Amino acid sequence: GKTKTPTSEEAAAPRRRRDSTTPESEVAKRPLDAHLEDLLKSDTGQRRLYQMAQDGLAEASPKVTKIAEKYGAKGGAMLKRDGLDAFIGAAAEKYRRKDGKYTRMGDVGDMVRGRISLDDDTKMDAVIKDIQDAFPNAKVDAKDDGPYPRTHVAVELESGIRFELQVGTNATDRFL
C-alpha cells in the first residue's frame, strides 16, 4: 500500500508516544505491561507493582538464602528499594536511564534482586545448578568482563516480576 504523507499540521504536532496511552484500569491490572508514564499516573498500578515485587521477594528470598547457606556463602534477596515511593522512584530512574531500551515496566529486571558471593569460584557451577533447580525457568548469562564480572541469572517469578540474581566471588564484591 501507499504511505500517507502527513499534512504540515500533523508533521509539526508533537508525536503522541505509545508510552502514554494505556487506560488506567489496564495499568492497575497489569503494571508490568505499562509504560512508565502510565504507571506514574496510576496509584493503583504502583501499589500493584510494589505488591508483585513483595510477593516475588517472598518467593525468591528463602531459595537464595538456602543455596547460599549450603555453600557457606553470603547471599540474599531484596527489593530494589524499600517503601512504595522509593521503590517506584528507583524503578522509574532505571527505566529512564536505559533511554528507550525499556518499553514496559516488566523490562526493569532488578526490581527484585539478589546476590550470592562465594569465597572462590570453585563452587560456581554447583551453585548455578542449584539455582536452576530452584528456579526452573532461570536464564544464565555469565558476564566475565565489564563493570559486573559476575554470573547473572534472570528468573520470572510466579508474580510475573523478573528477579535478577548475581553470583560471584567475594573478590568481585570488593572490586565493585
Asked if 166 and 150 touch (Cβ cutoff 8 Å), the reply is: yes
Report the predicted TM-score, pTM, of the whole model to 2 decimal places: 0.81
pLDDT in tens, 98-143: 888 999 999 998 999 999 999 988 999 999 999 999 999 999 987 6
- Return d(Cα 167, Cα 150) in angstroms, integer: 6
Q: Which cell goes with 72?
A: 557457606
